[in-house]
């Protein structure tokens, strides 16, 4: 799959939209400026996919070519990818994994295995203004996709009554005060039922336009659904011997003007609850990556501003020890971070299972790409929804601390849900 530089710059959202309409499997991840990198995949050459006892490599027909056993499915997939990269250098895979890679998602998420990275028939990569394609170049010439009239009205309904969810937040805070954990993340799910077609391509275009500083992604499910979102948070980037993560925890709204922006940001920095929540996450990421690095540099926290929200963000950058672990090896060590799970990890995971009451699927997992050298990047799969032909399931969650206020936490989830609600109605 030797890449060829293209003399034109295809719109990758348009490419995957047309390819999906033509019946091809598609995946797309676009990273924002600076140093923007976008990757799109059409069709399937290989799948690196979770199995009950580890991971397997399958061809386009679903025949198993290789397998790796292990309780940690991400680590098993990393070993398989390493072997494939040695046999076939130059491959690129796009995909991601669920919040809990140890089990296959259920219910609405049945079209998504716990772990899936796909080597497409056609891979298109854009980096710093240059576009390259590898694989079946004939797939670049997709017929223009016909789009049905878009949905204009949505009936929005929480899957779990808001009062019940706030009661769960209050119970989580009580149990945190009792010492069961230092932090736990609780999410909620909202159904958006439409009066017309919800097209993944249209949603992706709207997200890209409205949230240019976020990772935009679309991953097609095997059952006709599509997972789409605009994530502000980098889980991992590996480039040779350098690894970078930017954990975010603690958030507030944007202001109407610069003065209000600054006032809200100052209140966020002064918030004991938010700064304590952020320290838990930043310390965890620095320690987890530090175990694989000969040196680690931690910068922050600072305010990261996006279209409708501001976050406390810390940048963790390390120089990896040799032999340098691959992107998936690092993900196996780092995921889940306290930003989407809590701390300590096992105690927080138990509280989520007892109090959250929903199937997260790939929400709060990760989406991204990797190459045969072990380089690549993963964004945390947040600000997202699972799209159907006539609706969507939308997800948002917050980090709970011992002094969390249920009403304030509910309002923060409403702020985060606006990302997808706005894109659906665009």
CA contacts within 13 A on the Cβ side of 379: 26
Contact 422, 383 (CB under 8 A): no
Active site residue 183: yes
Write the DSSP assignment of 149-207 as a string of letters: PBP--EEEEESS-HHHHHHHHHHHHHHHHTTS-SEEEEEEEEEEEESSB--HHHHHHHH
Q: Where do the domains of the chain lie?
A: 154-197+232-359+383-424
412 and 251 Cβ atoms separated by less than 8 Å: yes
Given this model, what pLDDT does residue 189 score? Answer: 97
pTM of the model: 0.95
- The reported pLDDT for the residue numbered 3 is 87
The single residue listed with the structure tokens 């699927």 is 361
Residues of the chain falling short of pLDDT 70: 1, 33-34, 145-148
Query: Is 395 in contact with 353 (CB distance < 8 Å)?
Result: no
What is the structure's pLDDT at 145? 67
- The one catalytic residue among 25, 58, 183, 277: 183
Parallel/antiparallel/unpaired status of strands 384-388 and 391-400:
antiparallel
CA nearest to 94, candidates 122, 60, 117: 117
| Catalytic residue status for 88 | no
In this prediction, residue 215 carries a pLDDT of 95
pLDDT of amino acid 8: 84
Residues for the chain: how many in total? 426
pLDDT tens for residues 380-424? 999 999 999 889 999 999 999 999 999 999 999 999 998 888 898
Which of the 8 DSSP states describes residue 102? T
- Which two structure tokens, joined as six digits, stand for 413? 């989830």
pLDDT of 33 reads 67
Token output for 100 = 């809990």
Tell which residue, 16, 5, 2, has the closest CA to residue 89.
2
Between strands 366-371 and 376-380, the pairing is antiparallel
CATH superfamily of 154-197+232-359+383-424: Anthranilate synthase (3.60.120.10)
**Can you give the pLDDT at residue 197?**
79
Q: State how far Cα 121 lies from the chain centre.
A: 23
How high is the pLDDT of residue 389? 85
Task: Please name the residues in contact with 86: beta carbons below 8 A apart, sequence gap of 6 or more.
Answer: none
pLDDT of residue 387: 96
The widest CA-to-CA distance across the chain, in whole angstroms, is 62
242-245/234-239 β-pairing: antiparallel
Select which of 233, 356, 377, 412 is catalytic: 233
And the tokens for 105? 């998602």
DSSP run (H or E) holding 367: strand 366-371
Query: Residue 195: what pLDDT?
Result: 85
Question: Rounded CA gap, 399 and 395, in Å?
Answer: 14
Over residues 117-147, the pLDDT tens digits come to 999 999 999 988 899 999 999 999 988 766 6
| CA separation for the pair 96, 227 (Å, rounded) | 11
pLDDT of residue 346: 97
Q: Which residues contact 258 (CB under 8 A, 6 or more apart)?
A: none
CB 249 within 8 A of CB 184: no
């Amino acid at each position: 799959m030797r890449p060829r530089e293209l003399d034109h710059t295809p719109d990758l959202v348009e490419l995957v939209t047309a390819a999906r309409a033509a019946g091809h499997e598609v995946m797309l991840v676009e990273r924002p400026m600076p140093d923007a990198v976008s990757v799109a995949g059409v069709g399937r050459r290989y799948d690196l996919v979770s199995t009950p006892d580890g991971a397997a490599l399958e061809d386009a027909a679903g025949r198993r070519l290789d397998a790796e056993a292990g309780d940690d499915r991400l680590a098993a997939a990393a070993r398989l990818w390493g072997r494939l990269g040695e046999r076939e250098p130059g491959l690129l895979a796009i995909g991601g994994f669920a919040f809990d890679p140890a089990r296959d998602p259920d219910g609405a998420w049945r079209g998504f295995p716990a772990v899936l990275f796909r080597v497409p028939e056609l891979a298109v990569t854009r980096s710093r203004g240059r576009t390259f394609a590898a694989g079946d170049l004939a797939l670049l010439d997709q017929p223009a996709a016909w789009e049905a009239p878009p949905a204009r009205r949505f009936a929005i309904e929480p899957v779990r009554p808001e009062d019940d969810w706030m009661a769960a937040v209050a119970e989580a805070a009580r149990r945190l005060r009792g010492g069961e954990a230092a932090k736990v993340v609780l999410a909620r799910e909202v159904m958006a039922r439409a009066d017309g077609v919800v097209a993944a391509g249209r949603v992706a275009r709207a997200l890209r336009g409205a949230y240019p500083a976020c990772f935009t992604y679309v991953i097609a499910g095997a059952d006709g659904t599509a997972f789409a979102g605009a994530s502000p948070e980098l889980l991992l980037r590996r480039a040779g011997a350098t690894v970078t993560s930017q954990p975010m925890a603690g958030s507030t709204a944007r202001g109407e003007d610069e003065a209000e922006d600054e006032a809200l940001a100052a209140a966020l920095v002064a918030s004991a609850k938010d700064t304590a929540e952020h320290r838990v996450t930043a310390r965890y990421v620095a320690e987890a990556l530090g175990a694989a690095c000969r040196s680690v540099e931690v910068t922050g926290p600072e305010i990261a501003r996006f279209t409708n929200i501001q976050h406390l963000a810390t940048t963790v950058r390390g120089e990896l020890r040799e032999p340098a672990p691959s992107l998936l090896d690092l993900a196996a060590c780092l995921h889940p971070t306290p930003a989407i799970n809590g701390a300590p990890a096992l105690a927080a995971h138990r509280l989520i299972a007892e109090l959250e009451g929903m199937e997260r699927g790939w929400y709060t997992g990760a989406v991204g790409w990797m190459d045969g050298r072990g380089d690549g990047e993963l964004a945390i799969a947040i600000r997202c929804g699972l799209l159907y032909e006539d609706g969507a399931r939308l997800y948002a969650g917050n980090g709970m601390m011992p002094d969390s206020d249920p009403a304030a936490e509910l309002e923060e989830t409403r702020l985060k849900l606006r990302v997808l609600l706005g894109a659906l109605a665009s």
